[in-house]
Amino acid sequence: MRANGFFKRMGDGMRRFMYGRYGIDGLGKFILVVALIVMLASSFIPNEYARRGTLVVSWLLLALEYFRIFSVKRDKRARENYKYYMFLNSVKGIFGKGPDGNYRFFTCPGCKKKVKVPKHHGKIEITCRNCGTVFTGYTGKRK
C-alpha cells in the first residue's frame, strides 16, 4: 500500500514538472528511432574513430530530442513538427501514398480555387464546388 503512495507522488511530480512543456510528437519519435538505429549501427563499424563518431551523432540526436521534449516554446516545436509532417506527406505523395497521393489537383478557371479529383479516371468533366464552373481535366490513364 505504501508503494502505491510513492508512485502516485512520483507521477504527480512528473505531471507538475511537464506542465507547460512540449512533450513528444511525431518528429520526436522519428529522431529517437534514428538515434537508436545509428547507435546500433555503430556496433558493426570496425574502425574505432568512425564508431565513436557515430556514437557521438546518436547521443547528439538523443540530446536534441530531450531538448525538444522539455522545451517550453510549444509554438516553435509545433511548427517544427508541422514542417516534418508536410515533408513526410510530400515524400509519401511522390510514391502515391498518403492522404493526397491518389488524387490530382486542378485549378478552377473561374475562381482559381484548387479542386481535388481521384486519379486514373481518364479525361473527365470537373465541376467546381465553389463557383459551379464546369471544365475538363485529364487524371491519368484508366486502370
The answer to whether the beta carbons of residues 50 and 44 sit under 8 Å apart is no
With beta carbons less than 8 A apart as the criterion, state whether 20 and 69 touch. no
Full-prediction pTM beyond 0.85? no
Q: 70 vs 23, 25, 75, CA distance in Å?
A: 6, 12, 13
Residue 22 sits in the same domain as residue 68: yes
In a domain, 7, yes or no: yes
Question: What is the DSSP code (8-state) at residue 21?
Answer: S
Amino acid (1-letter code) at residue 56 = V
Shared domain for 36 and 85, answered yes or no, is yes
The pLDDT, as a whole number, for residue 44 is 94
pLDDT in tens, 72-122: 999 999 999 999 999 988 887 666 555 566 788 899 999 999 998 988 888
pLDDT per position as a tens digit, 11-45: 999 999 889 888 899 999 999 999 999 999 999 99
Number of structural domains found in the chain: 2
Both 115 and 83 in a single domain?
A: no
Q: What is the DSSP pairing of strand 123-127 with strand 134-138? A: antiparallel
Q: What is the dihedral of CA 58, 60, 64, 69, to 10 degrees?
A: 60
Whether 45 and 109 map to the same domain: the answer is no
Identify whether 143 is part of a domain.
no
pLDDT in tens, 76-88: 999 999 999 999 8
Q: Does 13 lie in the same domain as 70?
A: yes
Residue owning grid cell 506527406: 89
Tell whether 27 and 85 lie within a shared domain: yes
- Cell 489537383 belongs to 105
Query: How many Å apart are CA 118 and CA 139, to the nearest integer?
Result: 7
- Average pLDDT across the chain, whole number: 89
Range of the domain at 54: 2-94
In the block, cell 505523395 appears at: 93
Give yes or no: residues 81 and 108 share one domain. no
State residue 75's pLDDT score. Answer: 93
- Helix, strand or coil for residue 125? strand
Same domain, 56 and 120: no
pLDDT value, residue 101: 63
In this structure, the dihedral spanned by the alpha carbons of residues 83, 113, 92 and 78, taken in order and rounded to 10 degrees, is 20
Beta bridge partners of 105: 116
